Chains A and B, each alone.
Chain A
Amino acid sequence: MPDVQVLVNDFLNKLKKRKIEGSLATARQTAELLRSVISQQRVPYTNQARALIDAVRAVGEQLIAANPVELAVGNIVRRVLHIIREEDLSLTTAAMAGLGLSAASDDEDDADQDNHPVLSAAAVAAAARSTLRPPSLQTLLEDVPDSAAVPHTSSSGGDSEGKSKSADKSSRTRKLKHDVIEAVNELIQDIATCHEQIAEQAVEHIHQNEVILTLGSSRTVLEFLCAAKEKQRSFRVFVAEGAPRYQGHLLAKELVTRGLQTTLITDSAVFAMISRVNMVIVGAHAVMANGGVIAPVGLNMVALAAKRHAVPFVVLAGSHKLCPLYPHNPEVLLNELRSPSELLDFGEFSDCMDFGSGTASPLLHVINPTFDYVPPKLVSLFITDTGGHNPSYMYRLIADYYSADDFVVQRRSPTGR
C-alpha cells in the first residue's frame, strides 16, 4: 500500500507540473497506476467491487484534481471504474446462473476448478456486456448468436463455477481482482494500439491525389497519413505550423522523411489554402459527449474555414480521448494558458512590461491558450479505434465505455465514502 501511495504521489507531481506530454501517455500511465492500485488493494469478502471502486475513485479524484484540463486522466479512471462494475456484474450473473443451473450436481469434480473459471468468466463477461449494454448496431446484429451462446457457455462451465463459489469464497475474491486487472491490461493494450487501429482505416478515407490539411502535430495523424502512404496512395499534405508551439514543423519533418509531399504553411494562410484542400485531418485533445472537440489551439479557425468551403473536417481520436462530460464554456474552463514567453521575447519587450496605468494593472497582456473548442457542428467525422462516427453518435460510444454512475467522479466521492 505505501509503495502505491508513492507511485500516486509521483504521478500527481508529474501531472501538476505538466510533465507528461500528450493524452496518450497520460492515459497509459494513468491506467498503469490504477492497475497497481487495484492489485495492491485488499478486498474484503463481501462487497469487493465497492472496495475496489472506492479505492480507484479516491486515487482518481486526486489525479483529476492535479490536472483537470487533462481529460484523459478522468476518462481512464472512469473506464477502470466501469471495468470493475462490469466484471462484478458478470461475476454475479455468472454466479446466479451457476447457482440456478448446477444446484444439483454440487461436488463432483474438484480437480478442474482452477482451469475453468478464467475462461468461463471471460465468456460470461462478454455475454453480460452484450446483454447489459443498450442495443447498438453490433449487438443488434449479433443478437441471435449471442443469446444462444450465453446459456451454452454458462451451462458448460456451470458446474465448476457453482462449485468454486460454494466451496471457496477467497477464490472468487481473487477472481474479481484478477479479472479487473486483466481487463485493465486489455485497456492499456487498447490505448497503446489505438494508433494502428485508427491508421488501418486510412485507406478508406484517403484517395489518390488528395490534398490534406492538418495543423500542429499529432502522432495519430502522422500514423494515419503514413499508413495511407504505405498503401501506395499518393497525396499531398499541407501542414499549418501551429504557432506558438510549432509542432507543425515537427510533423512536416516526419512526413518528409516518410516521403510524403509536404507543404508547410503559416497558420494565417489556412483560409487562403483551404479552398484547394480536399480534407482536413487533425488530432484532438479530447472529445466531449456532445461531439465537440477540445483540440490544439487554432483548430476552431481551421474548422470554420473548412465549413465555409465544405471541406470535410475529420478528427482522429483514440477511445481514451472520449470524455463522458458535456462541455460548458470549454474555451475558458477546459483551457490552459501557457507562458507568454512563447509569443513575446521578454528581453525585447521588457520596457513595455513596465508601462503601467498607475492602477497597478499592467497595460500589456499576452494570451497564449493551449486548446480550442471545436463545436460538433463543425466536425464532419470522428475516426476512433472502433471506426468512423458522426459527432452525434458520440453519446452512444460513451454509453459503451462508461457507466453513468461514474460520470461525476469528483463530487460524489467525498460524500459517497
Chain B
Amino acid sequence: MDARRPSRAITDPMIRRVGFFTPTGNSQLPRTHSNPAGSGSSPHADSPAGNSLSPVMIPPPRHLSDRTPPLPVPETGLRQDSDRVPVGSYNASESLMGSSPSGGIALVGGEFSEESDGWYGQNEVRKHSPNLLDATLRKAPDYLSGTSAPLRLEKLKKSAQVPEKSGKADVEAQNEMQSSLKPLKTKTSKAERRALQEAQRAAKALAKEGDKSAAVSGGAAPKKPLKLPSQKKDGPPVLSSIAASDKKGGDRLPDKERKKDVPPPRMQFDDKNRVEKAKRRAVFHQTEARNRVELFRHLPQYEHGTQLPDLESRFFQLDLVHPAVYKAGLQYLAKDITGGNARCIAMLQSFKEAIKDYSTPPEKTLVRDLTAKISSYVSFFIECRPLSISMGNAIRFVKSRITKLPLTLSELEAKAALCSDIERFINEKILLAEKVIVGHAVTKIRDGDVLLTYGSSSVVEMILLHAHEMGKQFRVVVVDSRPKLEGQALLRRLVSNGLSCTYCHINAVSYIMNEVTRVFLGAASVLSNGTVHSRVGTASVAMVAHAFHVPVLICCEAYKFHERVQLDSICSNELGDPYAITEVPGRVDVNYLNNWAKKENLQLLNLMYDSTPSDYISMIVTDYGMNQY
C-alpha cells in the first residue's frame, strides 16, 4: 500500500509529461537538440520547436551560459518537459516524493465512504516520520485503513502550513484539500502543453514545407501510445505491494488519471461553509457589498476601499506575510498595479524578495515550508484581489520549481536557484515574450492601416509604438469604456509619441468600424476552447469587428494560456467596485444616481472580464508564433 503511494507520486509527473511527447528514448531527442541551441550557435534552427517554425518563432534563449545541469531552464515548454524526465526517473527518494501532499491525497479520491476503523487506529502514527509511517503501514491489515492513514497524516503535517487544512478533520475538509492540492502539478504540465500545442498549431499554419509539418505531427502523434508504457511501469509496483484485492485500485488508476486532468473547482462564494472558512483565515476583514446581483453570488464582492487604511496601518506589524508581498498586495488592492503582466511581475518580484529573506525554520525542510509560505502569500494576494490566470500560471511555476529543487542543494544555493528561476520567468515568459509578440504582430501592420484597439493592453501599446518607430503610416482608434477609462491613458501615451489617434467610446464602435482595417486586442487569458478571457467589452468589440469583416488579432503571451474551458462570462469573472458605475467623473450634469446606490431595488454590476468566443477571432499572436483560428 505504502509503496503505491510513493510510486504514484513519482510517476505522476512522468505519465503526463512524458506521455504527451515521447518516452525516454524520444524525449532525449529534443533535449539533445536544445542543448546545442543552448550553446548558442544557431538557436532558431536547432531548437525543437524552432525546427518547424519560421525563424522568429522562438525567443532567443537568454542566460545560456549560466545554465547549470541540476537547474534546467524553462526555455520552452518542450524543453522544460524533457528536462523533467530525468528528474522523475532518477529521483527514487521516497522521502521527497512520498511526502508530497498531492501524491498521497489525490490517491484516495472518492473512497471516503469506505474508511471506517482504520481511521482512529492510525492516529498515533501522525507523530512519526514518513519512513516510520511507511513501516507501520506495511503492517496495516487492510487497504482501506492504509488509504485513510496517509491522508490523515498528510493533513496533519500540512495543517500548520496550508491554510485550507486548519484543523478540519471531517470528510469535507479532506475533499477540499484534495481539490485544492491536486492542481499544482497537473496544471503546470498542462499549461505548458497548451502552449506547445499552440506553437505546433502555429507551426502547421505557417510552415509550408512538408517535412517540417511531418516533424510536428510526429511530435504530437506519440501522445497516446506513450501513456501506456509509462503506466505499465507504474503498474507493477502497485500491484506487487498491494494485495490481490487491490486490483480494483489498479483498475481505477486510469480513471483517476483522467480525473486529475480536470481543473479543480474554483472557490464558489455562494457556498456558505467555504466562505465562512475563508473568512476565518483571512488576513483582514472585508465587508460584503450590498445589493449584489443575483447571477453573481458565486463571485466575491466586497466594499472597495474600506480595508485599505486598516491594512496600511498594519504595515509594520507583520506576522504572516513578507513586507514585499504585503506591499504588492496593497498595490493590487489600491489598483495601483493593474494589468495581467504588471500584476504578475509584481507578484513574482515580491516572491523573489520573500525567498531571498527566507530561512528554513529548524526541523523543517525548505521545500515543504517554502511551498506553504508561498501558498499563504498567494491566499493573501487573493484576499487583496482575485488572481488573474496569468498569476495562477506563474504561481504554479514557482511551486513546481520549489518541489523540483534537488535535495543536495544547500539552502543558499536553493534560494539563489529559485531567485534566478523567477527572474528568468519574468524575463523570458513575460518581457521577452512581449518583444517577440511585437515582432510578429508588426508584420501585420501595413501603411495606411487603421488599427483599432480596446482598453489598454501593454502588448498592443508596444506593437503600435514599435510600428510607429519603424516608420509605418497608420492611424489608431482607441476604443474605451466606462468605468475605468483605461483607454485615456493609452491615448495620451500614443498621442504624445506622435501617433495619429481617434478616441471613442465602445458604443460608437459600430460607427468607427467602417474605416478600421485591423483590430488588435490584448487578453487576460486564452482558454483551451479558444475562448479569450479579457477586459470586459473585448467581446463586443470583436463581435462588431466580425460583423464588419475586420480581422481581429489577439495578442497574448503564452504563459497566459490556460487549460480551463469557459462558455460564458458569468461562471468565472471578477466584480469591480459597483459604485464606480454610478459616478461619472468629469461630468457634473450626470448625477442621476448620486444618492440612489443604496436603494434596495437597484443593483450595480461592474464586471471586469468577459469571454470572447473563438469564432470572432481571426488570429492569436503569441510568443510562439501567430496562429490562425
Chain A residue numbers with a CB within 8 Å of B586 are 345, 348
Q: Is A6 among interface residues, defined by CB-CB distance under 8 A?
A: no
Please determine whether B482 and A301 come into contact, CB atoms closer than 8 angstroms: no
CB pair A267 B587 closer than 8 Å: no
Q: Mark A315-339, 1 if CB is under 8 A from B, else 0.
A: 0000000000000000110010000
Known contacts A249-B582, A256-B596, A357-B500; A269/B507 CB under 8 A: no
Q: Is the CB of B547 within 8 A of A272?
A: no
Given contacts A249-B592, A276-B570, contact A363 B500 (CB under 8 A): yes
Is A268 a contact of B540 with CB atoms below 8 Å?
A: yes
Contact B510 A243 (CB under 8 A): no
Chain B nearest Cβ from A368, distance in angstroms: 7
Residues of B within 8 A of A297 (CB): 507-508, 511
Cα A261 to Cα B295 with chains together (Å): 13
Encoded as 1 (CB less than 8 Å from any A CB) or 0, chain B from 496 to 524 comes to 10111111111111111010000000000
B537 an interface residue at 8 Å Cβ cutoff?
A: yes
- Docked CA distance A250–B596 (Å): 11
- Interface-centre pick from A267, A272, A355 (highest chain B CB count, 10 A): A272
Closest to B503 in A: A366
Q: B residues within 8 A CB of A298? A: 506-508
Residue from the list A255, A268, A332, A352 in contact with B482, Cβ < 8 A = A268
Chain B's interface: helix, strand, loop or mixed, by majority? Answer: mixed
Question: B496 is contacted by which of A256, A275, A305, A352 (Cβ under 8 Å)?
Answer: A352
**B543 close to A272 (CB less than 8 A):** no
Assess whether A271 is in contact with B543, with CB atoms less than 8 Å apart: yes
In the assembled complex, which residues on chain B have CB atoms less than 8 Å from the CB atom of A352?
491-492, 495-496
- Tell me whether B506 and A301 are in contact (CB under 8 A): yes
User: How far apart are the CA atoms of A300 and B543 in the complex, in Å?
Assistant: 11
> Is B213 on the interface with A (CB-CB < 8 A)?
no
Q: With A301-B507, A365-B501 known to touch, is A264 a contact of B536 (CB < 8 Å)?
A: no
Q: How far is the CA of A352 from the CA of B496 in the complex (A)?
A: 7
B481 interfacial contact with A, CB 8 Å: yes
Bound CA–CA A138/B491 (angstroms): 57
Stretch at the interface among B126-134, B303-311, B597-605: B597-605
Residues of B within 8 A of A174 (CB): none
Of B108-116, B260-268, B606-614, the one contacting chain A is: B606-614
Q: Which of B482, B499, B505 has the most CB of A within 10 A?
A: B505
A246 touches B (CB below 8 Å) = yes
Contact status of A267 and B505, CB under 8 A, knowing A249-B582, A304-B547, A369-B511: yes
Chain B residues in 8 Å Cβ range of A367: 502-504, 508, 511-512
Least Cβ–Cβ distance between B34 and chain A, in angstroms: 42
Tell whether B488 is near chain A: CB-to-CB under 8 Å: yes
Candidates B544, B573, B581, B610; contact of A264 at CB < 8 Å: B581
Chain A positions within 8 Å of B508 at CB level: 297-298, 367-369
- Cα A345 to Cα B502 in complex, Å, equals 15
Instruction: Verify B582–A260 contact, CB threshold 8 A.
Output: no
Q: Which residue of A lies closest to B611 (CB)?
A: A272
Q: Does B483 have its Cβ within 8 Å of any Cβ on chain A?
A: yes
Quick check: is A399 within 8 A (CB to CB) of the other chain? no
C-alpha gap A412/B611 in the complex (Å): 52
Within 8 Å by CB of A263, from B293, B498, B540, B544, lies B293
Among B510, B512, B537, B606, max chain A CB count under 10 A is at B510
Query: Quick check: is B135 within 8 A (CB to CB) of the other chain?
Result: no
Distance in angstroms from A213 CB to nearest chain B CB is: 12
Chain B residues, Cβ within 8 Å of A342: 587
* Minimal beta-carbon separation of B421 from chain A (angstroms): 37
Q: Evaluate contact between A270 and B503: CB separation under 8 angstroms.
A: no
**Distance (whole angstroms) from the CB of B467 to the closest CB of chain A:** 16
For the complex, give the distance between the alpha carbons of A7 and B52 in Å.
78
Cα(A262)–Cα(B586), bound, Å: 25
8 Å CB interface, A103-158 against B: none
B615 to A: closest C-beta gap in Å: 10
Q: Binary interface profile of A, 343-361, with partner B (CB < 8 Å = 1, else 0)?
A: 1110011011001010001
Also in contact, A364 and B495, with CB within 8 A (given A301-B544, A335-B511): yes
The contact of B593 among A264, A332, A351, A365, by CB within 8 Å, is: A264
Is B569 an interface residue when CB atoms closer than 8 A count as contact?
yes
B142 at the A interface (CB under 8 A): no
Q: Chain A residues near B97 (CB, 8 Å)?
A: none
Q: How far is the CA of A276 from the CA of B568 in the complex (A)?
A: 10
Asked if B511 and A267 make an inter-chain contact with CB atoms under 8 angstroms apart, the answer reads no
B481 to A243, Cβ gap below 8 A?
A: yes
> For residue A364, which residues in chain B have a CB less than 8 angstroms away from its CB?
491, 495, 501-503
Query: A372 interface residue, CB < 8 Å from B?
Result: yes
Contact of B539 among A236, A250, A271 (CB under 8 A): A271
Interface check A308, CB cutoff 8 A: yes
- Please, how many angstroms separate the alpha-carbon atoms of A340 and B36 in the complex? 58
> Which residues of B476-493 are within 8 A (CB) of A?
480-483, 488, 491-492
Instruction: Give Cα A179 to B331, complex, Å.
Output: 74
Which of A236, A361, A366 is the one whose CB lies under 8 Å from B502?
A: A366
Indicate if the CB atoms of A305 and B540 lie closer than 8 Å.
yes
A312, chain B: closest CB distance, angstroms? 18
Cβ contacts under 8 Å, A70 to chain B = none
B584 at interface, CB cutoff 8 A: yes
* Complex A-B: 15 CB contacts under 8 Å: A243-B482, A249-B590, A250-B592, A263-B293, A263-B605, A264-B593, A264-B605, A266-B537, A266-B607, A271-B537, A272-B610, A301-B507, A332-B514, A343-B504, A372-B510
Sorted nearest first, the 6 A-B pairs with minimum C-beta distance are A268-B537, A298-B507, A272-B569, A268-B481, A300-B510, A272-B610
Known A236-B294, A264-B581, A355-B495; further 7 A-B contacts with Cβ < 8 A: A243-B507, A271-B569, A275-B570, A298-B508, A301-B544, A364-B495, A365-B502
